[in-house]
Amino acid sequence: MSAAGRVAAGSAPAVADDAAPGGVSVECRGLSIDVPTDDGPKRIVEGLDLRVEPGEFVCVLGASGVGKTTVLRALGGLVPPTPGSVLEVDGRPVDGPPDAGVMVFQNYASSLLPWRTALSNVELPLEGSVRDRGTRRERAMAALRLVGLADRHAAYPAELSGGMQQRVQIARALVVRPRVLFMDEPFGALDAMTREGLQDELLRIHARTAMTVVFITHDIEEAVYLGTRLIVLEGRPSAVGHDLRSPIGPDREQVATKESAEYLRLRHELYAAVRGERSGGAP
């Protein structure tokens, strides 16, 4: 590692520059996804068109069972779309997990390796690509510092709280310097206080790295607070039902932002959109 890198590892703000390659675009055209069921393949998503610009923070909402997670897994290269669908990250077709993107799963407990320490978990994705152990460790420590967990680097996942474990998972994603994060209800299993703390940290990391974020949530408040753009999936099979641009600026704060007129208006609009889908979509 260069001298600059060493300096960067020593202080948190510089680390972010180190891990700030900027975001990439994510695009799908005519995206359809079949999932296998006992009665053969069932179409979950059909004809979904979406273009996420580099650096956008897109929150995807929708009633449960509408296929939010499936869409995200397709974007992350974990689920193949049907033939004919166009799916691109940074203009390159997605065929397996893209190098530029990493997924963060809701269930942190089952995603971390319980026999590795927090630091060792974060080092895992570097073990194939970064030969030098010292460099690997420095980068992993920098990622842990970014999520505020440097002091617990020697702890095993079972010794950490849920919120801390999810931070480790986020650090493990950040350490590969992804240009897009695919997050599947990452804060869904956390209590309200922890969740708000992590939301603010995620906003801070997003602002520093300028990476693209596609964020699945069923929580309208969370979506409005975090997103620069909000997508509502609807229908069965589903497609984009609503596509709203957030009027809220980049500086967000849990109390003031949530009392602002823009926030309330957008929240109202989104409730109407999601509820309309719920009453119309229920069989």
Partner 1 sequence: MSAGVQVPVAPGVAPDAPPRRRRRRVNLPGLALVVALAVLWEVLVRTVLRAFDNLAPTTEIIRSFGELVARGDLAAQIGHTVAVTLIGWVVSTVVGVVLGVWLGLSGVAWRWSMASVEVLRSLPSIAFVPVAILVFGFSEQMELVLIMYVCLWPVLIATIEGVRGVGPGLLDSARTLNLGRLRTWRCVVLPAAVPRLLVGVRLALALAVALAVIAEMLGNPAGLGFGIVFAQRGFQPGQVFAYLFTIGIVGWALNALFTAAVRMFAPRFAGSL
Q: Which residues are at the interface with partner 1 (CB under 8 A)?
A: 76-78, 96-97, 99, 101-103, 105, 107, 109-117, 119-120, 123-125, 127-128, 133, 137, 153-156, 158-160, 172, 176, 182
Q: How far apart are the first and last CA of the chain?
A: 59
Give 114 or 247: the residue with its C-beta nearer to partner 1: 114
Q: Which is nearer to partner 1, 87 or 266 (CB)?
A: 87
Q: What are 215's strand-pairing partners?
A: 59, 183
Tokens 């509408």 appear where?
66
Least separation in angstroms between CB 191 and partner 1: 19
- 241 to 34, 84, 180, 219, 232: CA distances (angstroms): 19, 21, 23, 17, 5
Can you list the positions of beta strands (E) in the chain?
26-37, 40-52, 57-61, 86-89, 92-93, 101-104, 180-184, 212-216, 229-234, 239-245
Q: Give the nearer residue to partner 1 in terms of CB position, either 37 or 279.
A: 37
Nearest to 23 by CA among 77, 91, 80, 82: 91
Indicate the residue among 115 and 271 with the shorter CB distance to partner 1.
Answer: 115
Judged by beta carbon, residue 181 or residue 248, the one nearer partner 1 is: 181
**Residue 275 CB, nearest approach to partner 1 (Å):** 32
Nearest approach, Cβ of residue 119 and partner 1 (Å): 6
Quote the DSSP letter at residue 157. Answer: G
Nearest approach, Cβ of residue 97 and partner 1 (Å): 5
The nearest distance, CB 116 to partner 1, in angstroms, is 7
* In the complex, least distance from residue 129 CB atom to partner 1, rounded to whole angstroms: 9
User: Which of 46/123 has CB closer to partner 1?
Assistant: 123
3-state SS assignment for residue 25? coil
The candidate with the shortest Cα–Cα distance to 79, out of 56, 49, 103, is 103
Between residues 169 and 228, which has the closer beta carbon with respect to partner 1? 169
Min. distance of Cβ 221 from partner 1 in angstroms? Answer: 27
CA 84 to chain centre: 26
Nearest approach, Cβ of residue 89 and partner 1 (Å): 12
Tokens of 30: 């005519």
Nearest alpha carbon to residue 58 among 190, 246, 195: 246
User: Quick one: 211 or 230, whose CB is closer to partner 1?
Assistant: 211
Q: What is the greatest pairwise CA distance in the chain?
A: 62
Q: What is the DSSP string of 189-215?
A: TS-HHHHHHHHHHHHHHHHHH--EEEE
